[in-house]
Amino acid sequence: MVYVGDDGEVVCDHLHPKQLLDVMRHVCKDKQEYDRTLCAALNKETKDGRDMRKYSDLLHDAIDSIVSVKEEAT
C-alpha cells in the first residue's frame, strides 16, 4: 500500500502500512455509507471512468516509489 497525494507526492510509503491503515481508519470512522457526492465528482472528473490518465499517473508514482525504496535498500 502506498498513499499518494493528488500532486504525486508519496504521503505514506509501503514500508509503513500501519500508519496508512490508521489514517484510513480515521477517515472512515463512523461512516456507514460511501460518499455519494465524492463519487459523483470522481465520475464527472473521469468521465465515468473513461479518462483515468490522472489516476494512472498517480499509480505510476506509487510504483516508482516502491521501486526507488527497493533500489535504495540494495
- Cβ 12 vs Cβ 23: under 8 Å: yes
pLDDT beyond 90 at 69: no
Per-residue pLDDT tens over the stretch 9-67: 998 989 999 999 999 999 999 999 999 999 999 999 999 999 999 999 999 999 999 99
CA distances from 5 to 30, 34, 58, 73 (A): 23, 20, 8, 24
Global pTM reads 0.78
Q: How confident is the model at residue 70 (pLDDT cuts 50, 70, 90)?
A: confident
